[in-house]
Structure 1
Amino acid sequence: MKKAIFFDVDDTLYDHLIPFRKAVWEWVENPGSFPFEKAYHRLRYYSDILSLELGGAGAMETGEATEWMRMERFRRALAEFDVRLSEEQAAKIQAAYLGCQYDIEMFNGARELIERLQASGKIVGLITNGAGGHQRRKIEAMELTKLVPQHRIFISGEAGWDKPDTRLFQHVNERTDTRPDECVYIGDSWRNDVIGALEAGWSVIWFNHRGQQPEEGHQPHDTATDFAELSRLLLP
């Protein structure tokens, strides 16, 4: 029986596509037919790549480089869908995106699952990539600190390693007095969550609520598409 359950935050505990769609909607020619989900995945790709080039999440809290990265990821992602943005336009989209990123609600069943896991005696925590202040504002917006104690919330920008770096998962094991074989990680990103946790020796449930195709080379222990499925996998 597993001792500890850790969750990703972005697009695992809440729908990360909603603020993206709101921010981009007025900038595309035919929003009713625009492939927002595909564009969103490209935004996350460029966000990861550009963040790493600039030193990782620990260097991304504030500053000109951070603002440039946040604008540039929109320019590169949307250019793939024939939406060409000036720096000024990209800055406006980023401002709109940031403005609605904290107006978020957890997926149906997510809060209840965490409460039931806690009640069953499991260690429950969060592991998320991003700058500390930025991620903590999201966590506070969902009132997650009422469910998960602060010492079990791990943010890559504060810890010093970004997923999929296995050192982040090792750090979590050390801080929570757990072993890799006692831990389950749940996340939506194949690269950051599935690969990172598996290579650290953890069990993984891929939260594939967007119906993505698995990549080669790794095999999650289970896959779930919503919190009802997760509950069936995690609760006795």
Structure 2
Amino acid sequence: MDKKQYKAVFIDIDDTLLDFKKCSQKALEESCKSIGIKYSSELYEYFHKVDKALWDRQKLGEIKVEQVLQMRFETLCNSFVEKVDPSLFNKKFQESLAKTAVLIDGAEEILHYLSLKYKLFAASNGILDMQTSRLKLSGLYGYFNKLFVSDVIGFEKPDRRFFIHCLKKSNYKSREVLFIGDSWEADVEGAMQVGIDSCWFSKVQKESKEINKPLYQIEELIELQELV
């Protein structure tokens, strides 16, 4: 496949550049210490299971990001750590997560490579202050011209309005950009519905059952050097 000529690259943050599982594990352990409850691997695995299920619902449009952030701790407290205020637990977790950044293998190398050829923009569901803090902590913040985050935009991936906003504010047309992300629903399908080429960072070898296919599929970020 010949390399296409893009002008800009939009890239997801969590589980594309930053390892959310490792970050959330560290943040949960710190927040448990902060509120005086015992951390365990069982507690984290339950949290991870609940968190994933809620994010899956968000991608289907059933709930909003803000609900994901609160409901995961309501469920955790009701089922695992009773007598703990879910709002306090969530607050402490957010504070700890903002100070936690674990890079996906190859993240800095590929951003350096891409930054020499394209304008870079981060595009994430979440909280702008949180993602800004984590990208600065990781050393990746300086690669980006701008961060697009759902709490400021008012729309969440995979809503087409999120992607339209990103294009409008960055002054690019859909054919001029590539979107890279780990989520088939939020990143790949979301981008493709407005005519943006997509690269699916699938991590584990797997084939999508969907009719529409991403233009590119990679298992390691460094593979992008051979594609764009």
Q: TM-score of the superposition, structure 1-length normalised?
A: 0.74
Partner of 1:5: 9
**How far apart are the structure 2 equivalents of 1:100 and 1:13?**
15
Where in structure 2 are the equivalents of 1:52-91 lying within 5 Å?
53=63, 56-57=64-65, 60=66, 70-74=69-73, 76=75, 84-86=80-82, 88=84
Where in structure 2 are the equivalents of 1:66-215 lying within 5 Å?
70-74=69-73, 76=75, 84-86=80-82, 88=84, 94=90, 97-98=93-94, 99-120=96-117, 122-149=118-145, 152-211=146-205, 214-215=208-209
2:101·2:135 contact (CA, 8 Å) conserved in 1?
A: no
**Alpha-carbon shift at residue 196 of structure 1 (Å):** 0.5
Change (3 A) 1:209 1:49: closer
Change (3 A) 1:158 1:213: same
Partner of 1:42: 53
Change (3 A) 1:181 1:103: same
Partner of 2:34: none
Change (3 A) 1:223 1:136: same
Change (3 A) 1:136 1:43: same
Residue by residue over 1:102-139, the C-alpha shift from the partner in whole angstroms, topping out at 9 and shown as x without a partner, is 3213223222222222222x121111111222222222
1:14 equivalent in alignment to 2:18: yes
Q: TM-score of the superposition, structure 2-length normalised?
A: 0.76
**Alpha-carbon shift at residue 188 of structure 1 (Å):** 0.7
Q: Secondary structure at the match of 2:185?
A: helix
Change (3 A) 1:37 1:138: same
Task: Say which of 208, 224, 235 aligns to 2:218.
Answer: 224
**How far apart are the structure 1 equivalents of 2:91 and 2:60?**
18
Read off the aligned partner of 1:72 and give its amino acid letter: M
Read off the aligned partner of 1:197 and give its amino acid letter: A
**How far apart are the structure 2 equivalents of 1:28 and 1:133?**
28
**Alpha-carbon shift at residue 202 of structure 1 (Å):** 0.6
Aligned residues: 214
Q: Secondary structure at the match of 2:84?
A: helix
Gaps of 5+ in 1: 61-65
**Alpha-carbon shift at residue 45 of structure 1 (Å):** 2.6
Read off the aligned partner of 1:116 and give its amino acid letter: Y
Gaps of 5+ in 2: 30-37
1:26 equivalent in alignment to 2:26: no
**What percent identity do the matched residue pairs reach?**
24
Residue by residue over 1:136-161, the C-alpha shift from the partner in whole angstroms, topping out at 9 and shown as x without a partner, is 22222223332112xx3211111121
**How far apart are the structure 1 equivalents of 2:71 and 2:43?**
22
Change (3 A) 1:119 1:187: same
**How far apart are the structure 1 equivalents of 2:129 and 2:138?**
15
**How far apart are the structure 1 equivalents of 2:166 and 2:80?**
41
